[in-house]
Chains A and B, each alone.
Chain A
Amino acid sequence: MNIHEYQGKQLLRANGVPVLDGVHCTTVDEALAAYDKLGSKVVAVKSQIHAGGRGKGNLYDPNNGDLVMEGGVKIAFNRSEVKDYAEGILGNILVTIQTGESGKLVRNLYIESGCDIAHEYYLALLVDRENKSVMIMASTEGGMDIEDVAHNTPELIHKISIDPNAGLMGFQNRDLGLALGLQGKALKSFMKMLAKMYAMFVTNDCAMVEINPLVKTADDDIIALDAKVSFDENAEFRHRDWDELRDLSEEEEVEIRAKEAGLSYVKLDGNIGCLVNGAGLAMATMDVIKLYGGEPANFLDVGGGANEEQVKTAFSIILEDPNVKGILVNIFGGIMRCDIIARGVIAATEALSLEVPLVVRLAGTNVDEGKAILAESTLNIHPADDLAEGAQKIVELIGGGV
């Protein structure tokens, strides 16, 4: 689960990590009031969306698609610039390298005081899957795309791995600061900051905290100038406050509804809807559709114990997508019995008066009963014995690929 920069900074501040003063705004008037309140002559006017690459992104008018402004993060040197930039950002569509072409409507703005930057660093805390531990990664090459740094100059990226029982140890913290070339007051500030940030990472069940850039000021203070914070959704049960931080407008509405129904759904750009049990098999089903010349319209995992109602919800969610020209159901019954799935499929197609072609592949527990139920139905359901046959059939039925 992602949160906005302004929320990430509230969290950092509450945990004792130095950030600059800033105000979250949703209107131009609020932005101007924020400027007056901050009392800093120079401020940053920052678009708040969940995707990265905001600074290099462009803003477009949502009505006519015209370019409104270049750059989603601006430095304003006076009040009238704050007004111009806020107007250019709020209510417009920000397209960045991470948003895709359709971009994101910007509803939130962050006005932040300026500071005197001596050097920009990169810092990230994340869970390292291979070492099965929290990893802290830092580089002197701040403000740049870290993937480029990792690719071109890997020696400039320094990593430490944290023993979960010992926590971040002083020597590790110091080594990392020294590797960044910090000394004296700046090194002390860095170590104090990082200890607090690690504690915040653990107590808040973060999945990632990325600060790019982390800056050293002219006074040797260390400040988080940006904040990209995400949480591990599995830990939601012990963080009631996440509900308030969640910006539903940043998430796909249909994916949220699917989740509420116990389904895992991701919309894609193709035209063949998929309904599958199990995440791995659901991915494999998409892959095989593509292999036989089709394009999957979605990923959909109905889970291990889906009932008739969930199958129906799954069908209706798939059919909401106007691109869907056909549906492939692929179920390997384990705990889930094929006869129950077959009944669910029939009930759903009747209730939704399905018009697109439907191919159903069943295997596993009670497969013969399931197939018999489908065969008895008068509905236009095409059976398939294996995944390859199912994929070939549905591609053929919709008249080939996209």
Chain B
Amino acid sequence: MAIWIEEDAKVLVQGITGKQGMFHADKMVEYGTNIVGGCTPGKGGQTVELQSRKFPVWNSMTEAITATDADATVIYVPPPFAAEAIMEAADAFDSVKGEGVIVCITEGIPTLDMVKAVAYVYNRPGVRLIGPNCPGIITPGESGGAKIGIMPGHIHAKGRIGIVSKSGTLTYEAVAQTMSIGEGQSTCIGIGGDPVNGTGFIECLAAFEADPQTAAIVMIGEIGGTAEEDAAAWAAENVTKPIVGFVAGATAPPGKRMGHAGAIISGGKGTAEEKFAAFEAAGIACAKDPSELGSVLLESLKKAGLR
């Protein structure tokens, strides 16, 4: 078991004929992800060669899902068209099989487009959206696994730590930290750094709590909004597994957007200090430095009798 994405999940790529889509689709196939084809409107019937194998391209997501029974799709579509791609996938998953996971990697989607797309996805309860502006989701396997996104696959190994984060490279840092103490990962999810996104921290925590493979959780937040505070309060009541946390942006000045569209302290709200305090109040073991995540995790595992 892992969460939402099994090792052998069948995955489609939206924007597979584009430069980004093709590059990352190739990396996913190389990792062992079960890519079953892609979708680019107007290029249906063509094929794309990835790792010397040919993959079919469909004109629409409905066609693609009907033909492949895909479990998930990953979107590498430019910002002006990405919200539309999310909604097309949501509609197709909902009408063809009633469920599916949509992973949107695209950075720079207009916020009001996402407000619309998120509401559209929420009206289709079997469909889950991860992202946008995220590295994706990966469930490492014994050999290969399901890498759906842009993360470097080779740094991961199958294991029992669940990781959820708003950031990309900081997630890789957390993965490396688990590896440094000899622990692998059940599933790693980047929920993305945009102000309006799909799956949030709480849904990830709930899924990790319910997942028998996951023994402990690493949660990485960053400044802006109150998602970390809400998740911490929820975890205090609902999560029994050890959680280790870190929040980026303690030195960020107020009112400045720090790279991610959502990473901004506005009106004195969304500071790292508040988030760390909320984590600590919820019994989450905090690392003040991402290089300490491994040792803090090890300590938490020992305390819980897991090491």
Contacts and interface: CB of A to CB of B under 8 A. Distances in A.
Nearest to A126: B266
A130 B225 contact: yes
Contact of B172 (A165, A332, A389): A332
Interface stretch (B35-43, B56-64, B108-116): B108-116
Interface residues of A, number: 54
Given A282-B259, A283-B258, A127 B111 contact: yes
B285 interface: no
Contacts of A278: 167-170, 259
| Size class of the B contact interface (CB-based, 8 Å) | 35 or more
Interface in B253-301: 253, 255-263, 267-268, 272, 288-292
Nearest to A390: B291
A304 B224 CA distance: 22
Contact of B251 (A165, A296, A365): A296
A258 to B, nearest CB: 11
A238 B118 contact: no
A291 B224 CA distance: 21
Contacts of A67: none
Contacts of B248: 280-281, 283-284, 287
A132 B110 contact: no
B119 A388 contact: no
Given A127-B111, A287-B272, A281 B253 contact: no
Interface in A127-146: 127, 129-130, 132-134
Contacts of A277: 169
Most buried by A among B110, B230, B259, B289: B259
Most buried by B among A163, A335, A387: A335
B251 A287 contact: yes
B155 to A, nearest CB: 6
Contact of A287 (B27, B168, B249): B249
A237 interface: yes
Contacts of B223: 283
A228 to B, nearest CB: 13
Contacts of B118: 132
Nearest to B173: A332
A234 B79 contact: yes
A20 interface: no
A165 B171 CA distance: 34
Contact of B260 (A133, A280, A333, A389): A280
Interface string A264-279: 1010100000001111
Interface stretch (B5-13, B146-154, B204-212, B234-242): B146-154
A388 B250 CA distance: 16
A238 B113 CA distance: 12
Nearest to A237: B80
B110 A280 contact: no
B109 A334 contact: no
Given A130-B226, A283-B252, A283-B258, A364 B172 contact: yes
Interface of A: 98, 127, 129-130, 132-134, 147, 163-165, 202, 205, 207, 232-235, 237-238, 264, 266, 268, 276-284, 286-291, 296, 299, 301, 304, 332-335, 363-365, 386-389, 391
